[in-house]
Amino acid sequence: MIALTLTEIAAAVNGELHLHGTDSAETVVSGVVDTDSRTMEPGAVFVAKPGETTDGHLFVGTAVEAGAVLALVERVVDEPVTQIVVPDVVLAIADLAREVVARVRAAGDLKIVGITGSNGKTTTKNMLATILRPEGETVAPKGSYNNAVGAPLTMLRVTHETRYLVCEFGADAPGQIGRLAGLVSPDVGVVLMVGMAHAGGFGGLDGTVREKSELVRAVRPGGIAVLNADDHRVAGMAPIADERQLEVRWFGESERADVRSGSLEVTATGTHTTVTIEGRELPLHLRVLGGHHIKNALAAITAAGALSIAPETAIERLETMELAERWRMQVLTQSPIRIINDAYNASPDAVAAALRTLAQITGPDERMVAVLGAMSELGEHSVEEHQKIGLLAVRLRIPRIVVVGQEARALYLAAVAEGSWSDEAVFFESADEAFEYLKTELRPGDSVLVKSSNAAGLRFLGDRLGESFS
């Protein structure tokens, strides 16, 4: 965080300052801001966030021992540290982030990109950060820091030397993207796609469209909206951009796209395509596994272009990437058994894309094995969407479908009903049971995809398989 006095921080969060020791109202604080006491270091600010299973106020002492000099709290804690008391620490860090980013922007040339979409946010964020970092100090979220806590904490990492801030905006309730993007008013807003991810929390796809479009509404006047030309729901946000007097730049496979991809060649070592920009054709070999990531790459190239980065430069830097993020199409082993761990997030679109990738990269003498868990936050659509994935797995002729967990049982039943005979589709209650089965079932030449939502926990099953067959 940039240097601020205690008075300035208290004013930004509308909090009550309780000084300790030799601190005064003019004492300057400039350390990291975080909710995790384990990440504290000398000069840090600890945010005592209440949680579902524990309460950050219980760890203020631990944070102080690690070097925290200020605690943002909802009640005074009996610990030897200056504290600022606010009604809600989550809202307070958002207010603090707004103040910090505004000061940095006013004093320099900070450019801000916001990214949202039902799928691909984290991958696209990492791709864009890879392109931007050689240009200057770039702040981007750790992992999927895209919610009401993670997004402001990312914003608070900016300094007066920061040239680019890349924000990832997710939502699990209506209005969240508008609130988060409104904290920084991005110069560039990227909308990747609208799908069933989190649709249960928005009342269906129409609600999801409204939520994602809030990023376009939040882009600052004179800014640029980067939209997916192939997704009619995203393309339908162009009138909002026009109302806001934003420039629209398109990406995708459509002829209308400003940054367009051609045919794909998908292999176990990456995806080859040609990117057309302003009439020029540029080859792209993306080492990140999965043809569906080409669309994310197009979005990153388009956003980089909006920041005056040449497409040749963007492509050259993208080709250095080997992994989008841990647990996202992460190839743990290639031989004798290929293990792909993609079990951090799973919407219906993402699972379908991963299954198609499995089919594309598996050779004629190899066997496909899909280890599938639940897709979360689908609400009333959950059973139907799991059934669709079961049908797709069978139609892709995947000979071993391993389904884990009761929440995914509809997937297993649909696969059986579609004609997955005998032990082609199997069901296990737990990841441990599935692991014991797979230890003896897998054989050299198998290509194994592990895919589920984060809540299902199969990413750890994928790691265990990787260790066992490395």
Please state the three-class secondary structure of 352-379 as a single string: HHHHHHHHHHCCCCCEEEEEECCCCCCH
Q: Which residues are annotated as a binding site?
A: 117-123
Structure confidence by residue, pLDDT tens digits, 136-191: 999 999 877 889 999 999 999 999 999 999 999 998 788 999 999 999 999 999 99
β-pair type (338-342, 400-404) = unpaired
User: Scanning the structure block, which residue is given the tokens 């066992």?
Assistant: 468
Structure confidence by residue, pLDDT tens digits, 144-156: 788 999 999 999 9
The confidence score (pLDDT) of residue 133 equals: 98
The CATH class for the domain spanning 4-87 reads alpha beta
Backbone phi, psi, residue 286, to 5°: -95, 120
The helices-and-strands tally (H runs, E runs) of the chain is 16, 23
| Residue ranges of domains in the chain | 4-87, 108-318, 330-469
Share of the chain above pLDDT 90, in %: 83
Q: How far apart are CA 348 and CA 52, in angstroms?
A: 27
Structure confidence by residue, pLDDT tens digits, 238-268: 999 999 999 999 999 999 999 999 999 999 8
For residue 270, give the amino acid letter. Answer: G
Best CA proximity match to 131, nearest among 261, 322, 316: 316
The confidence score (pLDDT) of residue 201 equals: 60
Q: Across residues 222-227, what is the average pLDDT?
A: 97
Q: How far apart are CA 35 and CA 91, in angstroms?
A: 13
Structure confidence by residue, pLDDT tens digits, 24-38: 999 999 999 999 999
Four-way CATH pick for 330-469: 3.90.1300.10, 3.90.190.20, 3.60.70.12, 1.25.40.10: 3.90.190.20
Both structure tokens of 359: 């089919």
Q: What angle do CA 386, 390, 393 make, to 5 degrees?
A: 135
Task: Please name the CATH architecture into which domain 108-318 falls.
Answer: 3-Layer(aba) Sandwich (3.40)
Examine the pLDDT at 95 and tell me if it is beyond 80. Answer: yes
Bond preceding residue 336 cis, omega within 30 of 0:
yes
Work out the pLDDT band at 195, boundaries 50, 70, 90: confident
Examine the pLDDT at 422 and tell me if it is beyond 70. Answer: no
Examine the pLDDT at 340 and tell me if it is beyond 80. Answer: yes
Structure confidence by residue, pLDDT tens digits, 270-321: 999 999 999 999 999 999 998 899 999 999 999 999 999 999 999 999 999 9
The confidence score (pLDDT) of residue 344 equals: 85
Work out the pLDDT band at 420, boundaries 50, 70, 90: low
Structure confidence by residue, pLDDT tens digits, 433-454: 999 999 999 999 999 999 999 8
Lowest mean pLDDT among 230-234, 277-281, 336-340, 378-382: 378-382
In this structure, are residues 226 and 216 in contact, taking their beta carbons and an 8 Å threshold? no
Examine the pLDDT at 199 and tell me if it is beyond 60. Answer: no
Alpha-carbon distance values, 324 to 155, 231, 272, 273 (Å): 21, 22, 16, 18
Q: Which residues are annotated as a binding site for ATP?
A: 117-123
Q: Across residues 109-118, what is the average pLDDT?
A: 96
* Entry pTM: 0.90
